[in-house]
Amino acid sequence: MSDSVVRTRVAPSPTGEMHVGSLSIVLKNYAYAKRHHGQFVLRIEDTDQTREVPGAQEQIISILDKFHLPADEGPIVGGPFAPYVQSQRLEIYRLHAQQLIEKGQAYYCFCSKDRLEKLRDQQRADHSPPKYDRLCRNLSPQEVKSKLDKEQPYVIRLKVPDHQKVSFTDLIRGQIEFDSDQVDDQVLIKSDGFPTYHLAVVVDDHLMQISHVMRGEEWISSTPKHILLYQAFNWPLPVYAHIPIYLNPNGKGKMSKRHGTVSVGSFLDQGYLPEALLNFLMILGWATNDEREILTLDEYILEFNPQDISQKTVVFDLKKLQWLNGIYIRNLTNKDLISKLKPFVPTDFPSQFLPQVLPLIKERLVVLSDFEDLTAFIYRPIEINQKDLLKKSSANQVAEQLDQLISTLSSLSAQNWLTLQLEEKIRNLQEKQNWSKGQFFMMVRVAITGQTQTPPLFETMAVIGHDLTLSRLNQALLTTKKVT
């Protein structure tokens, strides 16, 4: 296929928050179109109005923006095949369904809900697959006309041919074959005049000249329906690639809300950087030739080929995402990091400390929302656990150490309260007294922060400042004396 004809699309339904799986599909369609200097189209599939969630369409567009994956054509930017919102294209679908009726490829069905339900019940009882029994397929033109004249409600169904092989080549899975006998005479136009997904997707992909349909593997079972429709219209098929779904981080089952975060919005809310999340989605189930794991969008575009996507379902490896996010955070300049941290800095954080605090925690931030936990000990009251404080020592010994530390540090003025000076004084004391390094420094860490794991001790003391450090050492001294 020549470069100029590659046109990909995503066709989300605005039925809720965007799932990371959908973002991954966006990424692949975007990259493939760009690689071949083609166009990437966004089409909103909102024909099931009962499931529509207000604001979802705007959210989809804003996510494409945030991740720098803008559509070349779509509801906002427009394009040669506008409108790109299906509810604004109802007439187009009706005309196409009409065409199929005229060609003898589709028919009116006047069966009532009640009849269809009874049919279904019977099929259930017989353990046969749910299928329309084609009662209306054999109505004479006169019967149809008289029912239409009487304005009897109807749907339009596809005349599915008998005993035909329906096959297509999937870029990822190779040849896939179905038997037309397994396919229902599907509804194309519903009784409310709206098209079904199947009709609308085929008509739009054809009219919008989509060359490659890359979508989630959950749509494989719909593909024979689509192919039968292409055949009924006598249209050429697009190239298909059905992309494997993600499994929950624990490896069990399709990635779902019940097992943790799934929506793109909630990953952003936790402080995953868009670049890190995209990089992660790039390497999930696909690898570059040299298997490098850190890559930019431009590098991905140069190499991405849907044929190389693994056929297997992939586990959404949260640990790897966290690792990547940490790397992207550390690659930010402090200025950029400060600006990205803004929404995550609690209102009671003394913001003048931010430049000083940042270097202390940059190494330890996995997601931006860790900021609060990593810094709370600096500006909120701490609680000291006596057990931690007295670890590998005794109450008397620790009290003695704290006493001496307090008097050593009291001689240091607030102006000289700097990392190097603090380090020198405290190390001298420890060496002079020959206290165990491990025990002593851990005890000081607990006394000053209430935690056993913190940023480097002397830098931390410098940030916390003269007064607060001394008051915490005194608080710790009292803790040694507390009877538990």
> Residues near 184 by Cβ (< 8 Å), separated by ≥ 6?
130, 131, 132, 160
Residues at the site binding ligand GLU, with contacts judged by CB under 6 A: 11-13, 45, 201, 215, 219
Encode 358-388: b = buried (16+ Cβ within 10 Å), e = exposed.
Answer: bebbbeebbbbebbeebbbbbeeebebebeb
Report residue 377 as tokens. Answer: 């000990």
257 in catalytic set: yes
Q: How far is the CB of 233 from ligand GLU (least distance, A)?
A: 17
Q: Which is nearer to ligand GLU, 201 or 448 (CB)?
A: 201
Q: Which is nearer to ligand GLU, 11 or 357 (CB)?
A: 11
CA-CA distance, 375 to 249, in Å (whole number)? 28
Q: How far is the CB of 40 from ligand GLU (least distance, A)?
A: 13
Which helix (H) or strand (E) is 197 found in, with range? helix 197-207
> Residues near 21 by Cβ (< 8 Å), separated by ≥ 6?
216, 245, 246, 255, 262
Q: How far is the CB of 338 from ligand GLU (least distance, A)?
A: 38
Q: Which is nearer to ligand GLU, 198 or 364 (CB)?
A: 198
Residue among 241, 257, 238 nearest 249 (CA): 257
Q: How far is the CB of 274 from ligand GLU (least distance, A)?
A: 21
CA-CA distance, 39 to 41, in Å (whole number)? 6
Q: By the 8 A CB rule, do 175 and 246 touch?
A: no
Q: Which is nearer to ligand GLU, 12 or 75 (CB)?
A: 12
Q: How far is the CB of 178 from ligand GLU (least distance, A)?
A: 17
Q: Which is nearer to ligand GLU, 11 or 477 (CB)?
A: 11
Encode 54-69: b = buried (16+ Cβ within 10 Å), e = exposed.
Answer: eebbebbbebbeebeb
Q: Which of 66, 103, 118, 257 is catalytic?
A: 257
Residue among 441, 467, 465 nearest 453 (CA): 441
Which residues are annotated as catalytic?
Answer: 257
